[in-house]
Chain A
Amino acid sequence: MHKLFIRSFVSSLVFLFTLTVAAVAKDVKAAFVYIGPTGDHGWTYQHDVGRKAVEAAGFKTTYVEGVPESADAERVLRQLANSGHDVIFTTSFGYMNPTNKVAKEFPNVKFEHATGYKREHPNVATYAARFYEGRAILGTIAGSMTKSNVIGYVASFPIPEVIRGINSFTLAAQKVNPNIKTKIVWAFTWYDPGKEAEAAKALIDQGADIIAQHTDSTAIVQIAEKAGVYAFGQASDMDKFAPKAVLTSVENNWGPYYVERVKAVANGTWNQKDTWHGIGDGMVVISDLDSAIPSNVRSKVKKLQADLASGKVHAFTGPIYDQKGNLMVAEGKTADDGMLAGMMTYVKGVEGDIPK
């Protein structure tokens, strides 16, 4: 029923676009396809902030929200490509195959797929952010500031992106405090404030005095505020939701990349590439550090941030062992991007098993 509603809504929307586009002169137009609503204040919201930056740079944009990662995605893409859009950003992993399929049919339209790895046609580029660099910063803060040595972590789904984040966080925390334990709770949702709140409460009741999250809503930081423990914001700066609890947030900053790519289309300099930017390129932004963070931790964080940005330090530097004690990355080596992209094992120090 809901799907049907979306479908008819989407098709009427696309029909409207077709009508308006026919009347407009040939400027570069960018389209964005979103998995969720722009009102999620998380993943999609941040992409939409990026879209607004493109708009502010003087380009026309359109977006379609709540597009399922199914045959619907193909239809939406085809219609957007048909209706005069020059570049289409598909902002969820599940759009990987539809993007490549439709790209083949429209060689003159550029496609930009977020978080994927397939570039089957010359008009498909991929991009993602090295959020794990941000999580290394959070791990450093958490390891330095925990008193109970128990850190809670609310996770969403067992995919490499999330596992990589947990590992990066834990490795960084261990570096400053070898006694810490990371307790993981899987909420099996990207956003359901009620469920996320319950998961956070359970972790706090079990002694966690710092809560990290890889789900999107602000419920967790609010629970932390009430319980008097610390937390970190996700995707956007969540400080105003929990001024005392939030130590800092890792922000997704897509705007500069989007503007750069749309400009490239306008100049005719667009080329196929795979972009994986981190703190150094400004795609991952660390919000202001809370005043509760003591100055020695603050300087440690600033140094790590600078070193990650310059590439002097890699978040996954050996020796790294998995939970069973097998060597994952040898001493002095760093994990390559292939390993990071497919990471599905916990490092030593993380408690529990990855749900299969």
Chain B
Amino acid sequence: MIIDVNFVGLIIASIMASAVPLILASCGELITERSGVLNLGVEGMMIIGAISGFALMTVTGSLIIAVFGAMLAGVLISTIFAFLTQTLITNHVATGLALTIFGIGISAMIGKNFVGIPGKEFPVIFEGLKDTIPLLSPILFGHSIVFYFAFVLPFITSYFLKKTKIGLIVRAVGDSPESASNQGINVKLVRYACILYGGAMCGLAGAYLSMIYTPQWIENMTGGRGWIALALVVFSTWNPIKILIGAMIFGGLTIIQFHMQAIGVRIPVQFLTALPYIVTIIVLVVISRDSRKIRLSTPSSLGKSFYKDN
């Protein structure tokens, strides 16, 4: 096989494209978890986003309505989670799992009428520049708007948490809801907002899969990506930039193992298939092994219900 730079560029571009849903969902979930809420419903919110986006695209024919509708659907379903965990003070883990099961079930029900319908083509931008720079062109140009958004999002998220006042409030609520509450912060409101934001991002991640990556609807099409996104948040030690790295490694190994098979590298295929999962976890654990930093970045009240009696 001849390795030319454009070939490398193409591979990197496909790695990035496969990382997009993971980055979107992880960055959303990161904000939710930073506020102290553990929402295991990522997979369920993604699949709801996927069917909502696809259904709205088919029914209305408008991609803009579909994308925002998918985000709104993510918000709506996460509102259920927020109401249960924040207002009714239910257990985060159990509620999150229920949300995933609910999401998979209801998406299948809505989706019955949308099986076997081809999706619309999603417009890409800067396509004219595709052949201008070797190596970089396929990476930089000719992608959907959601693709670019996903690669900017970790930096925005990082800036938001570190440099803005609202980011500070979110972190305060996640680290010590009692103190935050005593400072006059409405803990419940902040957590509601963070859960809803997480829902919107997961909805967008799902819509990316059903509208842009593989434009079609079939049941269970998220295929466990929500769980990988959840794992990325933990192994990145709640650092958005490391989520970006983790998602790229995961996507990269998935795609490179297919290339290795196609070239005919004689490594057991089962091992290659498991590789992305193993290596992503190892790398993230290694780059995040500073225990002091882990203590600092782990939201101390993660998964604990906050109940204010007055």
Contacts and interface: CB of A to CB of B under 8 A. Distances in A.
A2 B105 CA distance: 10
A45 B118 CA distance: 16
A352 B97 CA distance: 41
Given A188-B269, A219-B216, A41 B115 contact: yes
B111 interface: yes
The dominant DSSP class at the A interface is mixed
A202 B259 CA distance: 5
B14 A193 contact: no
B11 interface: yes
A12 to B, nearest CB: 14
Contacts, number: 121
B214 interface: yes
Given A195-B254, A353-B266, A355-B269, A219 B115 contact: no
A281 interface: no
Contact of A188 (B18, B214, B266, B270): B270
B7 A205 contact: yes
A185 B213 CA distance: 20
Contacts of B217: 39
B242 interface: no
Interface string B116-158: 1010000000000000000000000000000000000000000
B285 interface: no
Interface string A219-231: 1001100000000
Contacts of B164: none
Contact of A356 (B97, B116, B268): B268
Interface stretch (B29-37, B171-179, B219-227): B219-227
Contacts of B263: 206
B115 A193 contact: no
Interface string A4-37: 0100000000000000000000000000000011
Interface residues of A, number: 48
B261 A186 contact: yes
Contact of B209 (A41, A193, A206): A193
A198 B263 CA distance: 15
Interface string A195-214: 11111011101101000000
A219 B259 CA distance: 18
Interface residues of B, number: 42
B11 A205 contact: yes
Nearest to B7: A205
Determine which residue in A36, A152, A205, A219 has the highest number of CB atoms from chain B within 10 A of its CB, and name it.
A205
A199 B118 contact: no
B101 A201 contact: no
A349 to B, nearest CB: 13
A63 interface: no
Determine which residue in B10, B221, B225, B254 has the highest number of CB atoms from chain A within 10 A of its CB, and name it.
B221
A325 interface: no
A217 interface: yes
B112 A39 contact: yes
Determine which residue in B18, B118, B263 has the highest number of CB atoms from chain A within 10 A of its CB, and name it.
B118
A175 B28 CA distance: 54
B59 interface: no
Nearest to B121: A226
Contacts of A332: none
B262 A152 contact: yes
B1 interface: yes
A40 interface: yes
B221 A193 contact: yes
Contact of A198 (B258, B266, B269): B258
B108 interface: yes
Contact of B269 (A38, A45, A186, A194): A186
B214 A197 contact: yes
A183 B214 CA distance: 23
Nearest to A207: B1
Nearest to A227: B10
Interface in B1-27: 1, 7, 10-11, 14, 18, 21
Interface in A228-263: 236, 240-242
A192 B219 CA distance: 10
Given A39-B219, A194-B209, A219 B214 contact: yes
Given A183-B262, A186-B269, A205-B14, A194 B118 contact: no
A355 to B, nearest CB: 4
A206 B259 contact: yes
A270 to B, nearest CB: 32
Contact of A241 (B10, B118, B258): B118
B273 to A, nearest CB: 5
Given A198-B258, A201-B14, A203-B262, A218 B219 contact: no
A351 B260 CA distance: 12
B76 interface: no
Determine which residue in B115, B225, B270 has the highest number of CB atoms from chain A within 10 A of its CB, and name it.
B115
Contacts of A197: 213-214
Determine which residue in B11, B101, B216, B255 has the highest number of CB atoms from chain A within 10 A of its CB, and name it.
B216
B184 interface: no
Interface in A324-356: 351-353, 355-356
Interface in B264-295: 264, 266, 268-270, 273
Contacts of A131: none
A223 B17 CA distance: 13
Given A36-B219, A41-B216, A192-B221, 11 more contacts: A37-B220, A40-B219, A45-B115, A191-B218, A193-B216, A194-B214, A201-B258, A205-B7, A205-B10, A241-B118, A355-B269
Interface of A: 1-2, 5, 36-42, 45, 152, 183-189, 191-199, 201-203, 205-206, 208, 217-219, 222-223, 236, 240-242, 351-353, 355-356
23 contacts: A5-B101, A37-B220, A39-B112, A40-B218, A40-B219, A41-B116, A45-B115, A152-B262, A185-B261, A186-B269, A191-B218, A193-B218, A198-B258, A202-B14, A205-B10, A205-B11, A217-B221, A218-B118, A219-B216, A223-B214, A241-B118, A242-B118, A351-B264
